[in-house]
Structure 1
């Protein structure tokens, strides 16, 4: 049995290593789950974020790496059980010159420019917080948004708080990560992410969900995710949701 999973360049969740292989927390989790349900061949397809949902919906691949679950997305694809819960954050230049720590803080400064990847939930979050369209720059690739922060074209790049912390560690002293304040933008608990599939692929969906129920929160799962910086902070909220 072969399964093709699409991913994007977004450490620590997924990226292409120097030797050309795909790696990352989400791909490692997918590998463990798919092998456990009897998949013998796993192929990886690098794509852009804006193509993830369209690609799996059209059957160009079998599943996507986890992305945030929203009603609009759930109308197009089928989601697995949630696998992580992560709040938003900013990547900014060192020292955070404009003191940006939430979408509201961007909206309050007309001279602040915010970078977002096309199609990601951060765009809606920023708009709902009152950030004018003229202050938002949309990028197709994360690498372009990062370079825009470093060059000063934008003042902050919005993504997951965890992802930005990893990026800041890799890039070095030129940038820093800023976690959004707890409870900012009206979020009482971090949003969840899940694998997504073509809605007609019920056999794979059910098999993946069955294994996720067994595996999520286990010692092996936590150890695998810790290698990529995911901790109980990102894992436990989805386990708590299942127990309610």
Structure 2
């Protein structure tokens, strides 16, 4: 049995290492779950964020790495059970010269520019907090947004808090990560992420969900995720929210 899973370059969730292998927390979780349900061949397909949903919807691959669940996306694909719950944060230049620590703080600085990846949920979160469209700069690739922060073309790049912490540690020196305060959007639980599939692929969806019920929160799951910097803070809310 072969399954092809699409991923994007977004550490710590997924990326291509120097040997050309696809690695990351989401891919490690997929590997554990798929092997447990009898998949013997797993193929990784690198793509862009904007192609994830159209690609799986068109059957170009079987499943996507987890992404945030929204009602709009649920109209296009079938989501698995939640596998993580993660709040947003900023990647900024070291020293945080404009004191940006939330979408609201950025909205209050009319001279501040925010980078987002086109189509990601951070766009709507920023708009809901009052960030205007003329403050938002869209990018197709994370690497371009990071370079824009480093060069000063934008003041902050919005992504997951844990992802930005990993990026800041890897880049070092010129950038730092700032986590947003919990509940900025008024919710009690951080946004949840889940694998996504073509809605017609019911057998795979059901098998994955059955294994996720058994595996999520287990010692092996927590140990695997810890290697990539995901802790109980990202895992536990997904089990109850």
Tell me whether the two structures share a fold, i.e. TM-score over 0.5. Answer: yes
Deviations 1:25-81 (A, max 9, x none): 000000000000000000000000000000000000000000000000000000000
Q: 1:128: Cα distance to partner?
A: 1.1
Matches within 5 A, 1:80-119: 80-119=80-119
Matched, 1:202 2:171: no
Matched, 1:27 2:33: no
- C-alpha distance in structure 2 between counterparts of 1:62 and 1:119, whole Å: 21
- C-alpha distance in structure 2 between counterparts of 1:94 and 1:187, whole Å: 29
Q: CA RMSD in A?
A: 0.6
- C-alpha distance in structure 2 between counterparts of 1:204 and 1:10, whole Å: 25
Counterpart contact for 1:117–1:142, Cα < 8 Å: yes
| Equivalent residue, structure 1, for 2:174 | 174
Matches within 5 A, 1:149-160: 149-160=149-160
Paired residue secondary structure (1:111):
coil
- C-alpha distance in structure 1 between counterparts of 2:101 and 2:202, whole Å: 41
Deviations 1:162-218 (A, max 9, x none): 000000000001110000012213232201000000000000000000000000000
Counterpart contact for 1:81–1:212, Cα < 8 Å: yes
What is the TM-score when the length of structure 1 is the normalising length? 0.98
- Structure 1: gaps spanning 5 or more residues: none
Counterpart contact for 1:102–1:185, Cα < 8 Å: no
Deviations 1:83-132 (A, max 9, x none): 00000000000011000111111111110000000100000111111111
